[in-house]
Amino acid sequence: MKTILKCINCSEVFPENIITYKCSQCGDLLDVTYDYQEIDPRALKEEWKSRSLKVWKYKELLPLQPINPVTLGEGGTTLHKCSKLSSMIGLKHLHAKNEGENPTGSFKDRGMTVGINKALALGMKITACASTGNTSASLAAYSAKAGLKCVVLIPSGKIAAGKLSQAIAFGAKVLAIKGNFDDALVMVQKICEKYPIYLLNSINPFRLEGQKTLAYEVYEQMNYSIPDNVFVPVGNAGNISAIWKGFCELKKLGFIENRPRMIGVQAEGASPIASMIKENKESLEPFMNPETDATAIRIGSPVNWKKALKVVKESKGTITSVTDAEIIEAQKQLAKVEGLFVEPAGAASFAGLKKLIETDEFSSSESFVCVLTGNGLKDPDIISKYYKKPIEVENNMESLGGQLLDI
């Protein structure tokens, strides 16, 4: 569908085919907007029923409809019913959306398939991003598939081994800068201003369009209904904003009456938005030295904080924070109880849920969806740091038998 870009602050509009990431009037974030009048919701719902679950299934609500989109088969991830975990923490309806099932192992792929097709439509030859890891893995893969060159800026020594391996294997030019993610994001924006390189961080509104499909999938997977609450790990806050947009569109089209409450979860050492909400501040105070083992959300100055605040306000949700210990405990429980192995950042949503159901904001009869954002295989070092090591045994029955007495 034809779209325009609209500033979230001053409402200035821009055509979709100019290469820009921020409002040239006030410098604020842009959002992709559609003419929803053009859509016949009933026909669309029927049409969707005939297609299998994946991002491009929803092409009518995406900003471009390439005939043969560059895709790696993203989206269509499982919504797991977590009965055991649910009763362990006193809830009745808990589901987990396992975004680790995406082609490169995180939800970033949903956004990247749209972003890379946009890059092609704009005639760009080189893509770039700053990354705590997953964005670089995803962009590198999609750039490879699209035949585009790719540059990624990562904070030196601070990204998980699996993610770095992916970016390298997919053939990106990997630049490890001496600084943190926030520094890398400032630099990559400068690079993309100066050179003809297409920026695919979540400041790029087209990428977020792909990510909103998670909401549509949850709606279909819950048999055309939505949960009362959705918990999402938050770094730059692009994903929570995108998912909320998806639910808002379902309401606009008349598919649902109510929208879920959105709860974002940051890691305590990198929780500027949670702090802002807790202390009732007017604007964001960046964390200068963000620190957490959940490296995917180790972000001190989230670019999409204004979008996130809008989500909190409109959905009557909140953004909270959890400690690294709570995150690792949540990661262990997801793995050991439900068989879902997620990276630390991916477990932040469940850690946040466990923390907040202790408060009287939520009732145990409500339904909950935790978005598990990334695959556990990406960060093996966390396992050697926090989990039991393998036990060395002699190659004989006696030693083995001894070990089997307490499994």
Binding site residues, ligand PLP, CB under 6 A: 106, 108, 134, 202, 233-239, 296-297, 343, 345-346, 373-374
Which positions touch Zn ion (CB under 5 A)? 7, 9-10, 12, 23, 25-26, 28
CA nearest to 340, candidates 325, 330, 351? 330
103/235 with CB nearer ligand PLP: 235
Query: Shortest Cβ distance from residue 300 to Zn ion (Å)?
Result: 24
Query: Shortest Cβ distance from residue 393 to ligand PLP (Å)?
Result: 35
Out of Zn ion, ligand PLP, none, which partner does residue 343 contact, by CB within 5 to 8 A per kind?
Answer: ligand PLP
Out of ligand PLP, Zn ion, none, which partner does residue 12 contact, by CB within 5 to 8 A per kind?
Answer: Zn ion
**CA 287 to the chain's CA centroid:** 20
| Helical H segments across 316-378, by residue range | 324-338, 344-356
21/219 with CB nearer Zn ion: 21
Q: What's the one-letter identity of residue 111?
A: G
Residues 6+ apart with CB under 8 A from 62: 1, 55, 56, 114, 209, 210, 213
Could you give the angle at the alpha carbon of 324 between the alpha carbons of 321 and 326, nearest 5°? 75
93/99 with CB nearer ligand PLP: 99
Out of Zn ion, ligand PLP, none, which partner does residue 228 contact, by CB within 5 to 8 A per kind?
Answer: none
Q: What are phi and psi of 313, to 5 degrees?
A: -65, -50
Out of Zn ion, ligand PLP, none, which partner does residue 134 contact, by CB within 5 to 8 A per kind?
Answer: ligand PLP
Q: Where are the beta strands (DSSP E) in 149-278?
A: 149-155, 173-177, 198-199, 229-233, 261-267
| Helical H segments across 122-204, by residue range | 134-146, 161-169, 181-194
334/345 with CB nearer ligand PLP: 345
Out of ligand PLP, Zn ion, none, which partner does residue 319 contact, by CB within 5 to 8 A per kind?
Answer: none
Query: Shortest Cβ distance from residue 32 to Zn ion (Å)?
Result: 15
233/260 with CB nearer ligand PLP: 233
Terminal Cα-to-Cα distance of the chain (whole angstroms): 57
Which residue number has the CB closest to ligand PLP?
Answer: 374
Out of ligand PLP, Zn ion, none, which partner does residue 234 contact, by CB within 5 to 8 A per kind?
Answer: ligand PLP
Say how far apart CA 150 and CA 170 lie, in whole Å: 9
